[in-house]
Amino acid sequence: MEADYVVVGAGSAGCAIAYRLAEAGRSVIVIEHGGTDAGPLIQMPGALSFPMNMPRYDWGYRTEPEPNLNGRVLATPRGKVLGGSSSINGMVYVRGHARDFDHWAEAGARGWAFADVLPYFKRMEHSHGGTDPAWRGKDGPLHVTRGTRLNPLYHAFVEAGRQAGYEVTEDYNGRQQEGFGPFEQTVWKGRRWSAANAYLRPAMRTGKVAVKRGLAARVVIEDGRATGVALKDGTVIRARAEVIVSASAINSPKLLMQSGIGPAAHLAEHGIETVRDRPGVGANLQDHLEIYVQMAASQPITLFRYWSLLGKAWVGASWLLARRGPGASNNFESCGFVRSAPGVEYPDIQFHFLPLAVRYDGRAAAEGHGFQAHVGPMRSKSRGTVTLRSGDPSDAPVIRFNYMSHEDDFPAFRRAIRLTREVFAQDAFAPFRRHEIQPGEAARTDEELDAVIREHAESAYHPTGTCRMGAADDPGAVVDPECRVIGVDALRVADSSIFPRITNGNLNGPSIMVGEKAADHVLGRRPLAPANLEPWTHPAWRVAQR
């Protein structure tokens, strides 16, 4: 039970790290509490609502009651399975905007500006949609594809965006994010292309990577150096070189605190001896919150046609026999990124369009045929925390997002809803729309929309920021720009928990990128040469919203 490196978590970043370390000839043991990702409920893209709601694959975390959302308790799914959350997510692939990473560098994460991370995005990608080789990768492990977009509603959404005065972009993961266009997904040949499929299985085939099932209880630290990981059953997995924690924005800070790294007073409350007093562990928690703006459809052309037992059987059979049909796509095939107001330099609102009125838990709207856009602000200023519930590693942590706690949050969310309504009101949707299901046409005033947000806003399941990366002398930082835990030797954290600020869009792509770049730091390699390309910015952003 010893290897050069021990990686905690077989998720998006952890799998990428294991792959690159094995490629360099190093031995790796990956600790994963969850089990196999085999079976159609994970591998069929169209079945995405199932695994994220199944205790077999999901840690089942819940928030504390959120005071600004009517005291609601929200689900916080995290993957407990090979592939981690990349095996239960919506498979949407978004790099984030270039300026997101420039902000990281400005916040103390030197070497993580867009010019620095673009080469890693290119290294990890095998893009089947983006055509500009200066911006997109063509031979990486992660296949990135686009859906067939056969349903006319996908094209209506993009055309409605154009009619509303927005840009149309052919590749939001390339030079120009801003605008409406085709969505990208981590699906390959009709199958979910998770981090387990892209990275972990090829790494295991080298003989250099082994997976050990178990619950990581603490990092073993001897004389200020991480030497291994102790499991709940008492087993100790030894690391000859380093321990790398890639357990998610929820479980990574939890494991650090269980190991004595965190706010000293909080650790003392739970009888944990402080190894390093790092107040930033578990702080800076961020997420994307969204509303589903749902419209009833006037034609029976939506995915609701498959919502019967017979329809679902047909979808399943088509996928099992030929990897075709609605089951072969996540069905998020058109999208939009827009700026909420003049003076906003780059997009701060994202639209996920879906030709079905449905929730993430798989419950369809009572009105039958419909379509929807998931929408919400991308850069909320609200911050939350992950803390320990007890000293027992088996206990779930205490998760408080503090959603909608900043004074700017409600005005920003109202703008997002009103801009979505404007898109759906365009002529492109005239043949297809009937009436608004949610929020409902009666909700018009600020007070009415605020009530809708409090009652219906949902997490987009993008937790991040709880082991923030920053300068080594920053008291609030947890890791330095090489992902090393400040104050502890031979210990790194590499996953979405290290993001200084949440990125613009879905987090799976940036999380894998972190694993790719962290692997080079672990190996002591010179980072890939910066790619000094200039992303598109709306020429009139200072004075125009579109």
> Any idea what the Cα angle at residue 421 is, between residues 53 and 375, rounded to 5°?
35
In the predicted structure, residue 363 carries a pLDDT above the cut 90: no
Dihedral sign of CA atoms 262, 266, 270, 272 in order: positive
> Any idea what the Cα angle at residue 529 is, between residues 527 and 533, rounded to 5°?
130
In the predicted structure, residue 360 carries a pLDDT above the cut 80: no
For 140, the enclosing helix (H) or strand (E) is none
In the predicted structure, residue 362 carries a pLDDT above the cut 80: no
Tokens (6 digits) for 354: 């879906």
Helix/strand/coil for 85: helix
| pLDDT at residue 201 in the model | 98
Between strands 236-245 and 385-387, the pairing is unpaired
| pLDDT at residue 285 in the model | 98
Question: Tell me: the pLDDT tens digits for 321-343?
Answer: 999 999 999 999 999 999 999 99
Q: Can you tell me the distance from the alpha carbon of 338 to that of 294, in angstroms, rounded to the nearest whole number?
A: 19
CA atoms within 13 A on the CB side of 408: 9
Burial of 537 per CB tally in 10 Å (0-12, 13-18, 19+) = middle
Q: How many residues does the chain have?
A: 546
| pLDDT at residue 433 in the model | 97
Question: Tell me: the pLDDT tens digits for 282-312?
Answer: 999 999 999 999 999 999 999 999 999 999 9
User: Nearest 5°: phi and psi at 215?
Assistant: -95, 115
Question: Tell me: the pLDDT tens digits for 111-132?
Answer: 999 999 999 999 999 999 987 9
Binding residues for FAD: 81, 89-92
The rounded mean pLDDT for the chain is 97
| pLDDT at residue 34 in the model | 97
Binding residues: 81, 89-92
In the predicted structure, residue 358 carries a pLDDT above the cut 90: no
| Residue 446: CB atoms within 10 Å | 10
| pLDDT at residue 367 in the model | 86
Q: Where are the alpha helices (DSSP H) in 212-271?
A: 248-258, 264-269
For residue 165, name the pLDDT band (cuts at 50, 70, 90): very high
Burial of 263 per CB tally in 10 Å (0-12, 13-18, 19+) = buried
| Residue 2: CB atoms within 10 Å | 12
Which of 1, 460, 459, 35 lies closest to 227, judged by CA?
A: 1
Which of 192, 245, 250, 181 lies closest to 219, judged by CA?
A: 245
In the predicted structure, residue 387 carries a pLDDT above the cut 80: yes
Question: Tell me: the pLDDT tens digits for 83-96?
Answer: 999 999 999 999 99
| pLDDT at residue 365 in the model | 77
CATH fold of 2-522 reads: FAD/NAD(P)-binding domain (3.50.50)
The single residue listed with the structure tokens 């900043």 is 406
Tokens (6 digits) for 64: 């504390």
Question: Tell me: the pLDDT tens digits for 265-282?
Answer: 999 999 999 999 999 999
Contact assessment for residue 246 and residue 13, using Cβ atoms and an 8 Å cutoff: yes
Helical axes 152-163 vs 409-424, angle rounded to 10°: 110
Question: Tell me: the pLDDT tens digits for 418-476?
Answer: 999 999 999 999 999 999 999 999 999 999 999 999 999 999 999 999 999 999 999 99
Write the Ramachandran bin of 199: left for phi over 0, alpha for psi from -120 to 50, otherwise beta: alpha
Question: Tell me: the pLDDT tens digits for 173-199?
Answer: 999 999 999 999 999 999 999 999 999
Helix/strand/coil for 356: coil
Tokens (6 digits) for 134: 């200066």
Active site residue 462: yes
Contact assessment for residue 21 and residue 494, using Cβ atoms and an 8 Å cutoff: no
Contact assessment for residue 164 and residue 18, using Cβ atoms and an 8 Å cutoff: no
Amino acid making up residue 139: D
Question: Tell me: the pLDDT tens digits for 485-527?
Answer: 999 999 999 999 999 999 999 999 999 999 999 999 999 999 9
Question: How large is the greatest C-alpha to C-alpha distance in the chain, in angstroms?
Answer: 70
Q: Which of 352, 369, 374, 462 is catalytic?
A: 462
User: Nearest 5°: phi and psi at 376?
Assistant: -175, 165
Q: Can you tell me the distance from the alpha carbon of 134 to that of 142, in angstroms, rounded to the nearest whole number?
A: 17
Question: Tell me: the pLDDT tens digits for 39-75?
Answer: 999 999 999 999 998 999 999 999 999 999 999 999 9
For residue 364, name the pLDDT band (cuts at 50, 70, 90): confident
Tokens (6 digits) for 299: 């034609």
Q: Can you tell me the distance from the alpha carbon of 214 to that of 8, in angstroms, rounded to the nearest whole number?
A: 10
The single residue listed with the structure tokens 């859906």 is 147
| pLDDT at residue 366 in the model | 74
| Residue 377: CB atoms within 10 Å | 21
Question: Tell me: the pLDDT tens digits for 192-235?
Answer: 999 999 999 999 999 999 999 999 999 999 999 999 999 999 99
Q: Can you tell me the distance from the alpha carbon of 190 to that of 354, in angstroms, rounded to the nearest whole number?
A: 18
